Amino acid sequence: MKEMYPKNGRVILHVDMNSFYASVEMAYDPTLKGKPLAIAGNPEERRGIIVTCSYEARKFGVKTTMPLWEAKKLCPQLIVRKPNFERYRKASMAMFGILRNYTPLVEPVSIDEGYMDITESFELGTPLEIAESIQKRILEQLDLPCSIGIAPNKFLAKTASDMKKPLGITILRKRDIPTVLWPLATNQMHGVGKKTAEKLATIGIHTIRDLASANDLQLKSLLGINGLRLKERANGKDQRPVDPEAIEEFKSIGNSTTLPKDVSNQQELFHVLESLSETVSVRLKRKNVFATTLAITIRYKDRKTITRSKKLANPIQLPEDVASIAKELLIKNWNGDPVRLLGITGSDLIEQDHAYKQLDLFSYEKDAKQEPLLHALSSLREKYGKNIIESAGSHKVDPNHTIGTATSFNKDFLRRREPEKE
């Protein structure tokens, strides 16, 4: 069986759960199977956005991040359920538990997907047999479908798992790259978003083949070091190891400051929180994450320190949102004594791609009104450079004031521990 594995290379699997939240709800309630189902922030008419939806709903044009009212217009018979993150977490932990039966080298990258290095698992069968066994066990034991990519590295494995959904298994070898990968448009490549694809088009790079043979100096000038990294990926090169400890790397984003003098004036403390909120917001944006829990730290003149947190209904990233919650926590928990240090920490972070917002009518209108401004800022940055307009908070970052580090909510969500009792 060892002869079926490369002598010097690796065999990497990427396991990607299909329509995970919706599939978990169907496993919990089998009467939902085969029906158009959406998971949304608020099931009331015209409220919330689609977090995910079943493949039956997608046939009607329903998509992730689509406003619920629009989805119901496309599919009047759409069934809507609120997210049940504790239920999804348990299903995720069970899924990763199955994966670890095949190899200890399992790296979760979000709540519903992960990499496996099965190079030394040859005693369990061929790579294809192992993938088939994993897919079958997850389906039989958890009643959940998944797609699996088999490849010599993480990039190609991720690419392969996207090729056939649901319940697909795809093998992608390096020798397949010229015929399978290169003809595709750059925006179909994992790691290349719409904006990056538009930038690449300005220097005549439209396909992955173009990217694979692009000029290094041009790429670096256009996209920095990421441009060279994308070229390597386009040529099927990816040396990143499958790291089981990667989920422990980051947990939170925060900022604190020791005040020049002890402060007992509420407005002065508010100003400090506003400054800290700017910095925390900048760091959240740099990591492309949102916070779903916010905490403040208060240290008094006698050095007594307290930390108080609040679980948020909606993920936050903007400085005004961070400041608003921080002030609320200060008012509720400050005893009025002089304060020596203040800190703000965002945790239970959720990746931007997975973030959803339970919009009520007020916030929906508020966000809609901001769209022209956001579009104008985006156009200016695209035309004159990303630094033409910056948040004031981006000039106040002091690395010496950092408390905690950053991660995705999904990674922290998947840390191996028992679910907390509520």
pLDDT tens per residue, range 95-149: 999 999 999 999 988 889 999 999 999 989 999 999 999 999 999 999 999 999 9
Name the catalytic one among 113, 132, 274, 418: 113
Q: For 349-400, write each residue's pLDDT tens digit.
A: 877 655 544 433 334 444 444 545 545 555 555 455 544 444 443 343 333 3
CA neighbours closer than 13 Å in the CB half-sphere of residue 108:
27
Q: What does R_g of the chain's alpha carbons equal in angstroms?
A: 24
113 is catalytic: yes
Give the other-Cβ count within 10 Å of 299's Cβ: 18
More confidently predicted of 14 and 224: 14
pTM of the model: 0.63
Residue ranges and CATH numbers for the domains of the chain are 1-172 (3.30.70.270), 184-234 (1.10.150.20), 250-406 (3.30.1490.100)
- Ligand-binding annotation for 16, yes or no, is yes
pLDDT over 90 (residue 418): no
More confidently predicted of 43 and 262: 262
Sequence-distant (≥ 6) Cβ neighbours of residue 365 within 8 angstroms: none
- Ligand-binding annotation for 262, yes or no, is no
pLDDT score for 29: 97
Peptide bond preceding 36 in cis form (omega within 30 of 0):
no
pLDDT score for 41: 73
**Residue 353 CA: distances (Å) to CA of 87, 191, 198:** 20, 12, 19
pLDDT over 60 (residue 257): yes
Q: For 34-90, write each residue's pLDDT tens digit.
A: 999 999 876 554 457 898 999 999 999 999 888 999 999 999 999 999 889 889 989
